Structure 1
Amino acid sequence: MAKLSVNVNKIATIRNARGGDVPNVVQVAKDCERFGAEGITIHPRPDERHITTKDVYDLDKVVTTEYNIEGYPDERFMRLVEETRPTQATLVPDGPDVLTSNAGWDTVKYKDMLTEICSQLAEWGVRSAIFVDTNPSNINGAKEVGVDRIELYTGPYADHYEEDKDAAIKDYISAAKLAHDLGLGINAGHDLSLLNLAFFKQSIPNLAEVSIGHALIADALYLGLETTIKKYLELLK
C-alpha cells in the first residue's frame, strides 16, 4: 500500500486570507494523522503565501508520521531542512514566482547542483526526492545525482485521464519501471484526486507515496476531512 502524505498548504492559504490562526495548520496536521494519513507535506515558499517559516518549526514538533518538506533548494530552504531534519526533502525546480509546481527537474542540466544537495541531505539523515517528469533521461539523471527517490509529476496524467486513461498512464508505467530498475524509490504528486488515483495506483508498481493537497482539501469541504482521508486511503490499498 502506497502511503498518503497530505499537503496542508491550502489550510495555510485559508488561514492567511483572514489572518489569525483559523484554521489552525498544526491542529489540521494532527487530525490528518489521527484520521490515518501517513505523512504531512508542506511547501514553505519564500513569500509565505501559505506555509510560513513558523509553520515549518511548529509542525516539526508535532508530526509523528513522515514529515516531507518540498521546495526549491535555495539557502533558506536548506536551512529549514537542516534545522528540522524532516523525514524527506522533495526538491522542486520552480522559483518563488511560480504559482504551483508544474514541471520536473532537468537532472542532466542541473546534475552538479543536485548532486551536492543530495549529498548534503544524506549527511543530515534526510531522505531525498526529486520532482521529475517521465522523460527517461531525467530519471537516469536522478540516479546519477544520488537521490533516494523520484516524485513523478502527475499533472499531465490528470489532465488527460478522462479523455484516455490508458494513454495518459503509459509513460508513467515505463518511467516507474525504469526508476525501480535503477533502485530509486517512487513517489507521485500533482492533481491526483478521487477520480484518477485508483487507476494510477493500480497501474504503477512499487509506488511508495503520493502527496495530495488541493483536491483532498477541496473534497473535504463537502465530505469532511476524516471521511475524505479514509476515501483516499481506500483507493491506495
Structure 2
Amino acid sequence: MTKLSVNINKVATLRNSRGGNNPDVLQVALDCEKFGAQGITVHPRPDERHIRYSDVRGIRPLVKTEMNIEGNPIPKYIDLVLEVRPTQVTLVPDADDQLTSNHGWDTKANRAFLTDVIGRFKEAGIRTSIFVDADQEMVAAAKECGTDRVELYTEPYAAGYMDDRAEAIRPFVEAARTAREVGLGLNAGHDLSLVNLHYFHENIPWLDEVSIGHALICDALYMGLHPTIQAYLKCLR
C-alpha cells in the first residue's frame, strides 16, 4: 500500500499567526499517526515562517512511523538533517523567499552538487529523495546522483485534472515508469487532494508514498482530522 505522509506545515502557520502554542504542532503530529498516517512531513524554510527548526527537533523523537524532512539543502538545513536523522530527506530547490515549491531539480545541471549532498545523508543512514518534475530525462538523471527515490511534483497534474485528467496524468505515468525502470523508489506530492488522489494512484499504483499537507488540513477544517486522514487513506486503497 502507498503510504500517506501528512505535511503539518499549515498547522504551524496557524500557530505562528497568534504566537503561543495553539495548535500544538507536536501533538498534531502524534494525532496524525494515531489517526492512521504512516508518516509525518515537515518543510522548514530559512525564515521559519511555519515549521521551525525547534519543531523538527521536538517532533523527531516522538514520531513512531516515518519522518520526512523536505527542503533546500543549504548549510543549516544539512546540519539539521544530520542532527535529527529523519527516516527520509527530500531535496527541494526552493529559493529562500519562495512561497511554496513550484518546480523540481534539474538533476543533470546539478548532478555534482546533489551527488555530494546525497552522499552525506546516505552515510548517516538517511533515505534520500529528489523533488523532480514529471520529466523522464530528469528522473533518469536523478538515479546518477545516487538518490534512493524521486518525488514527482504534482501541481501540474492537479491544475489540469478537471479539464482532461487523462492528459494531465500522462507525463506522470511516463516519469513513474522511468523511475521503476532505473530502480528508483517513487513518491509524489503538491496539490494532491481528495478530488484527484485516487485517479493518480489508480494510474500509478506502485507509488511508495504521497506527501499531502495543504489540501488535507483544509479538508480537516470541515471534516475533522481523523475522518480526513481516513478519507485520504481510502483513496490509496
Report the TM-score range of the alignment, normalised by the length of the smaller protein. Answer: over 0.9
The superposition leaves residues 94-144 of structure 1 with CA deviations (integer Å, 9 ceiling, x where unpaired) of 111110011000000000000001111110000000000111211111011
- Tell whether 2:212 aligns with 1:186: no
Distance in 2 (CA, whole Å) between partners of 1:205 and 1:51 is 31
CA contact (8 A) 1:160 1:168 kept: yes
- Tell whether 2:229 aligns with 1:236: no
What's the % identity of the aligned pairs?
57
Distance in 2 (CA, whole Å) between partners of 1:61 and 1:128 is 20
Structure 2 residue aligned with 1:220: 220
Residue aligned with 1:102, SS: coil
Residue aligned with 2:208, SS: strand
Alpha-carbon distance, 1:66 to partner: 0.4
Structure 2 residue aligned with 1:74: 74
Q: Once structures 1 and 2 are overlaid, which stretch shifts more, 94-103 or 192-201?
A: 94-103
TM-score of the superposed pair, with normalisation by structure 2 = 0.99
Structure 2 spans left out of the alignment, 5+ residues? none
Distance in 2 (CA, whole Å) between partners of 1:98 and 1:76 is 17
**What RMSD, in angstroms, separates the aligned Cα atoms of the two structures?**
0.5
Distance in 2 (CA, whole Å) between partners of 1:61 and 1:23 is 19
Structure 1 residue aligned with 2:158: 158
CA contact (8 A) 1:41 1:69 kept: yes
The superposition leaves residues 29-84 of structure 1 with CA deviations (integer Å, 9 ceiling, x where unpaired) of 00000000000000011100000111010001201110000000010110111000
Q: What code does the residue aligned with 1:114 have?
A: L
Q: What code does the residue aligned with 1:206 have?
A: W
Residue aligned with 1:104, SS: coil
Q: What code does the residue aligned with 1:111 have?
A: R
CA contact (8 A) 1:69 1:90 kept: yes
- Tell whether 2:42 aligns with 1:38: no
TM-score of the superposed pair, with normalisation by structure 1 = 0.99
- Tell whether 2:49 aligns with 1:49: yes
Structure 2 residue aligned with 1:139: 139
Distance in 2 (CA, whole Å) between partners of 1:43 and 1:171 is 26
- Tell whether 2:172 aligns with 1:172: yes
Distance in 2 (CA, whole Å) between partners of 1:144 and 1:158 is 29
Alpha-carbon distance, 1:166 to partner: 0.2
Distance in 2 (CA, whole Å) between partners of 1:211 and 1:87 is 14
Structure 1 residue aligned with 2:7: 7
Distance in 1 (CA, whole Å) between partners of 2:6 and 2:134 is 23
Structure 2 residue aligned with 1:149: 149
Distance in 1 (CA, whole Å) between partners of 2:212 and 2:190 is 7
Q: Once structures 1 and 2 are overlaid, which stretch shifts more, 156-165 or 129-138?
A: 129-138
Structure 2 residue aligned with 1:86: 86
Runs of 4+ in 1 over 2 A off after TM superposition: none
Structure 2 residue aligned with 1:119: 119
Structure 1 spans left out of the alignment, 5+ residues? none
CA contact (8 A) 1:26 1:58 kept: yes
CA contact (8 A) 1:177 1:205 kept: no
Distance in 1 (CA, whole Å) between partners of 2:120 and 2:79 is 11
Residue aligned with 2:112, SS: helix
Structure 1 residue aligned with 2:207: 207
Structure 1 residue aligned with 2:60: 60
Distance in 2 (CA, whole Å) between partners of 1:107 and 1:39 is 26
Residue aligned with 1:64, SS: coil
Alpha-carbon distance, 1:205 to partner: 3.5
Q: What code does the residue aligned with 1:70 have?
A: E
Alpha-carbon distance, 1:27 to partner: 0.2
